[in-house]
Structure 1
């Protein structure tokens, strides 16, 4: 079964988002990652998408529901949404997924993380290798720490001094999160649409070591 039935471009009237968190004072020149610090995988958004629910996935809202929808491509702020993950504390973000894209190959998109009081915490920016909209999986070789509950905003680069100028889209749908939760009315959308993204927490090295020891102990008990 396909994960998308149709892509609708939202009309300006009746579905406009309220103003998102303030981006004033965010230094994007320090957020744009060098090419060696991340990897990107792009999958066509009209192909079947397996919902994430494995180890480390603390928020998952990637389903197409009755069909992906989007506002027209724009530069600057490109949408925002709230999220509440299943992580007990801050998320060490090692992998990020979203549905959308840029209008020009090499265009830069930033993802800004805010706490629930709309205070900026951290974020990252990457160059997307091709134009068009896809299911993107971005692996951060150097993870960042973000709130376990807060607000995520996409920002399509509008400063040539930081990186290539671009416009882009971040898709929405009416499907509920499969991991974690969110408020469908957040951002003033009244039709239950929410942006599509997923967050994967990377265990700290000590936790990985403990997991390894636990597995070793379990294997000894089975013998």
Structure 2
């Protein structure tokens, strides 16, 4: 069985030419899980797979990561995804549910005609430690982005760690990237109070871990080239990375 990670977009909120930061975990060339759903993520997803997503995970609720959710509702209720109305699996940390509700689902009347709740289109699964999807266990963990308790990364044990937007998180990666997983990590040329910069990587992470980083969520194509010139693997829009098969439950427990 072949596992891959496909970046749909790799840009920071203002880097529209790079696409909204979003990726898909694929199994045997088919989409298994969409990570984040920014303004243009659905267009890129449909252009790649010819269908709407059936399962997604949201790392946090900034609009460059959730602004596509209204469109996904309409696609699922009326459009090409209507055959799966009420079945689209949405995973997110339980702490984010109130924020998700207030940002995308609390408008008085999702349809002018009434009679429909926003969540009728989805199967919302709040989680704390992780969740199951098609026989695979995914772990979630806190990251450092703006207010504490509002952003959470994702791990497919043995295959991938995906940070979402974050400052450096050496303590978390010492635990969640302990079996040598590659780490898709938020990084721009210059850090700020909410995002990681190149100097942060050198200061916070050992060389062995830096070699496993796939950098995304940067400010421009020029910034991406500059980071690559420093020796880092920088993800580009549409780029596909091969993953190791995930650990079995027995291997992960051991």
Asked if TM exceeds 0.5, the reply is no
Bigger RCO of structures 1 and 2 (CA < 8 A, at least 6 apart): 1
Higher helix share: 2
Higher strand share: 1
TM-score class, shorter-chain normalisation, is under 0.3
TM-score, normalization: structure 2? 0.24
